[in-house]
A and B are shown apart, each in its own frame.
Chain A
Amino acid sequence: MSHELCDLSGSELTAKLRAGEITAVDLAGSSLRRIEAVDGRVKAFLTLTPQVALERAAELDVYLSTGAPLSDVAGIPIALKDVFTTNGIRTTCGSKILETYTPPYDCTPWTRLSGAGSTLIGKTNCDEFAMGSSNENSAYGPVHNPWDLDAVPGGSSGGSAAAVAAGEVVWALGSDTGGSVRQPASLTGVVGLKPTYGLISRYGLVAFASSLDTVGTFTRSVGDAATLLNTLAGKDRRDATSLDLEVPDYRASLADGVAGLRVGVVSEAFGQGVEPDVAGSVRAAVERLAGLGAQVGEVHLPHAEYALSAYYLIAPSEASSNLARYDGVRYGLREDGADSIEMMFRTRGAGFGPEVKRRIMLGTYALSAGYYDAYYGQAQKVRTLIIRDYEAAFAGFDVLVSPTSPTTAFPIGEKADDPMAMYLNDIFTIPANLAGVPAVSVPCGLDSAGLPIGLQFTAPVLGEPTLLRAAAALEADLGLDLRPPLLAGV
């Protein structure tokens, strides 16, 4: 089994770069070699940018040789989910309708990382317009889970999750609207962070459901998630929903432990549909937190059972509005038509895949005359109830714990024809999006088939320091060495 530099964590690599033990070009090369070795089977990437990566890395090495200071993300190979706009680099959103779209501008998250010297390796596969939980909705074929190539990596950010799990990059960005970072992180054995709504700018994140969309990170350690958040968080004049706040150092309290921390175990998250191995592993992890001095208790989110229903009204409604922009006029696919209206109908009919059509239709119906109050209006009231549930829970607890996903990775094709079964994957991740609170999935073990299990911590709005501290304590105590079997043969 060969280890590549890019199997190490970002903080380890930064130390090596600073010490002059390795160069940024070494690192980019390491990432590209691993991709060459495994991506034919994993299929995490839609577009690779090796030339840009090597050029940028070489520039950074020159800069470093002058003794200039190095940021915590400089030279570290990163992948971006293909829903982030990148200037001059194709951005497809996993959709045929954007197959040839080359944005004329960078999204803010990449502007910040690029400005700090990050090395972009490529753009990753995802469910079309981030709609899905298995990555099977990509117009460019599914991603394969590095832990079991016949299984899904989760979704919608499945390519980013798989790329990090397989050591193709050190870390990656995804987007999380209902669990699209945390669920694939859980299914591929990596750390997936969804920050507070508005903490990271979404300028240049192609919109799905604007009241729920967040930018999230995939890393192989909690510390690396904090490092990325340090670079990404903060006000952006180009995103009116970005929060104006003093950004703390998210790494500062990582080692403070959980002694005295009040940990609430969400009772509703261990019921029907949760695999016994998943429930058992999460319960065992909670025991370890108690052993570390956390005060553990049971907590209820009584309206959680309505979150899925509310989400599948709110998200498609917003999506039906956001996706109205794909009209064949200014960019993307255009089909011929006798007039502009026919052109628009045909373009959208030919360019969108089945899940996107399903959600556009669902949202259009829920917003249409005569149904708005019964569906969209009621869903927004449920959202209020869910926020109140969290407020009550956080009055008694600092963080909440649940499984991230009811199951581990499932076989490709198993749920593809049953939308309702697929939607249930996100039952534990959706409430955090509806309430805008931060949550993180951390690996807590393997099931009897050797597939990763994720535990989700949730904290109050802007509670990232506490969230990451709890996750780091669990990570350190478990000391898991998660290397997918795929890499044994590399």
Chain B
Amino acid sequence: MPVEIDIDHVAKLARLDLTDDEKAQLRSQLGVILEHAAKVGEVAADDVPPTAYAIPRANELREDDPQPSITHEAAMANAPAQADDRFMVPKIAETGA
């Protein structure tokens, strides 16, 4: 059975604007893909530990020695909008009364 998904909720979590056509297509495609993906539940028994990284690492540390870095100008060069050496964005909050 294809999996039923609340597309609007997931799109909101993913910060994605989707058209009605995209939503309809994703609803059916993701349902089929997830039905297949749910097979993982058939074999993953309680006593099997999960693996996040195939080659385990922990607390990879190195000396904290400063290295040359890119300039402020280079870091800002791709900004869609900037002002006063800062990234400029549309308003993020209502101004208080």
Q: List residues of chain A with CB under 8 Å of any chain B CB.
A: 100-102, 104-105, 196-198, 211, 237, 240-241, 243, 303, 305-306, 308-310, 312-313, 320, 324, 327-334, 336-346, 348-350, 352, 354, 357-358, 360-362, 364-366, 368, 374-375, 377-385, 387, 419-420, 423, 434-437, 461
Contact = CB atoms under 8 A, between A and B. Distances in A.
B48 A313 contact: no
Nearest to B67: A237
Nearest to A305: B39
Contacts of B49: 381, 384
Given A313-B40, A357-B22, A383 B89 contact: no
A365 B50 contact: no
Contact of A340 (B50, B62, B89): B89
Nearest to B54: A436
Given A358-B29, A361-B16, A387-B54, A329 B92 contact: no
Contacts of B62: 237
B97 interface: no
B30 A361 contact: yes
B16 A345 contact: yes
B91 to A, nearest CB: 5
B1 interface: no
Interface residues of B, number: 53
Given A303-B43, A362-B34, A105 B10 contact: no
A378 B40 CA distance: 6
B70 A198 contact: no
Contact of B90 (A237, A308, A340, A434): A340
6 contacts: A241-B53, A306-B43, A339-B91, A354-B25, A375-B38, A380-B52
B33 A419 contact: yes
B40 A368 contact: no
A337 B17 CA distance: 12
B66 to A, nearest CB: 12
Contacts of A338: 90
A75 B82 CA distance: 40
A348 B14 CA distance: 9
Which 4 A-B pairs rank lowest in CB-CB distance, beginning with the nearest? A349-B17, A436-B54, A380-B50, A381-B44
A21 B45 CA distance: 64
B24 interface: no
A240 B33 contact: no
Interface string B53-90: 11101001010000000100011011111000001011
A384 B79 contact: no
A385 B90 contact: no
Contacts of B78: 100-102, 104, 330-332
A361 B26 contact: yes
Given A312-B37, A340-B89, A362-B34, A383 B81 contact: no
A365 B5 contact: yes
Nearest to B49: A384
Nearest to B50: A380
Given A340-B89, A340-B92, A381-B49, A312 B33 contact: yes
A362 B16 contact: no
A306 B32 contact: no
A211 B40 contact: no
